[in-house]
Amino acid sequence: MPAGAPAASAKAALEELGFSVEEGVRVRGLSGFEHGFALVAKKGERVVCVSIVKANPASIFAEVAKGLDVPHEIVVAAEGEPPPKAVELSRKGRVKIIAFKSAEELAEELKKALA
């Protein structure tokens, strides 16, 4: 998803949590392949890669699959209603799926997911 209100809201939320944030970043995975993320946030040794996509299974799965190659935390922010089971299963892992319907909701869900 291109930059816009959701990305700006997510960036502001991450900065409120004390992260330094870069937009439109490519991260080299363990395989050497480069993966694109809307935002990459850093605080000390912690690195969180954030993707913002529409809530359809193909888009979500493509972003979750990056977690096999990228060793950092990944948050897939899905606009709309992602499959509830996928969201539930991701709550405890390194790759989290959060749902949102507005930029404001994205900011709140992102803060909860990373607290």
Tell me the C-alpha distance between 5 and 106, whole Å: 10
Rg (CA), the chain: 13
Residue type, 9: S
* Tens of pLDDT, residues 72-114: 999 999 999 988 888 887 877 899 999 999 999 999 999 999 9
Q: Are 26 and 35 in contact (CB under 8 A)?
A: yes
Tell me the C-alpha distance between 3 and 7, whole Å: 5
Q: Are 78 and 98 in contact (CB under 8 A)?
A: yes
As for how many domains the chain has, the answer is 1
Entry pTM = 0.91
- Segment 14-25 mean pLDDT: 96
Residue type, 15: E
Specify the pLDDT at position 92.
78
Tell me the C-alpha distance between 38 and 44, whole Å: 20
- Segment 44-48 mean pLDDT: 97
Q: Does 4 have pLDDT greater than 80? A: no
Residue span of the structural domain in which 74 resides: 5-114
CATH number at residue 54: 3.40.1350.10
Mean pLDDT of the chain: 92
